[in-house]
């Protein structure tokens, strides 16, 4: 048996844009001060516990959820607290009272190098995304980092 040699894409990690708003023409383009984007697919499974059995061969699979985190070098208040994110007027991603609204247009853009060595653009689309919390890390000898965390119905990506 021989191992198959394969190459995969390289993601240099330079996020060029974060789009947030209610459509591709109404929203905000954050193009600097983006530190990182992290997302996780949360998929839990529970083993059935049959009485009198030493092992449980079957599992119950719960629906998947997605969580995400974006880090910036500024508070990005204009994007998350001041930009309309739904078709209904005056619904922001997060308001000062802690109310979240679903973000209709939410994308993260990253350049990648595909397995053939060509430069392409990877677009992450956050579907049904909500901002659930924000925080700041402020030190006396480092840049402040502002963190937004949330939940999503789905996170996908496409390369062009």
List of domains in the chain: 17-42+60-159 (2.30.110)
What distance in Å separates the CA atoms of residue 53 and residue 60, rounded to the nearest whole number? Answer: 17
How far from 136 is each of 36, 70, 150, CA to CA, in Å?
14, 12, 15
Tokens representing 152 are 């999503």
Contact yes or no for 154/127 (Cβ under 8 A): yes
pLDDT tens-digit readout, 18-72: 999 998 888 899 998 999 999 999 888 887 777 777 777 788 888 888 999 999 9
pLDDT for 13? 66
**With a threshold of 0.75, does the pTM exceed it?**
yes
What is the rounded distance in angstroms from the CA atom of residue 155 to the CA atom of residue 66? 7
Is the pLDDT score of 141 beyond 80? no
| pLDDT band of 6, cuts 50, 70, 90 | low
Show the DSSP H helices in 13-152 as ranges: 77-80
The residue assigned the tokens 């697919």 is: 41
Output the pLDDT for position 78.
86
């Amino acid at each position: 048996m021989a191992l198959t040699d394969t190459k995969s894409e390289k993601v240099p990690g330079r996020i060029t844009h974060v789009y947030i708003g209610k459509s591709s023409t109404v929203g905000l383009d954050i193009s600097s001060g983006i530190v990182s984007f992290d997302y996780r697919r949360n998929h839990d499974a529970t083993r059935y516990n049959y009485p009198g059995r030493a092992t449980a061969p079957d599992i119950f699979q719960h629906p998947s959820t997605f969580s995400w985190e974006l880090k910036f070098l500024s508070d990005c208040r204009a994007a998350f607290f001041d930009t309309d994110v739904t078709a209904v007027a005056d619904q922001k991603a997060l308001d000062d009272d802690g109310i979240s609204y679903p973000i209709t247009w939410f994308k993260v853009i990253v350049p990648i190098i595909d397995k053939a060595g060509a430069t392409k653009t990877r677009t992450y689309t956050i579907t049904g995304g909500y901002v659930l919390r924000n925080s700041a890390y402020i030190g006396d000898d480092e840049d402040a980092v502002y963190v937004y965390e949330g939940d999503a119905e789905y996170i996908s990506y496409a390369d062009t």
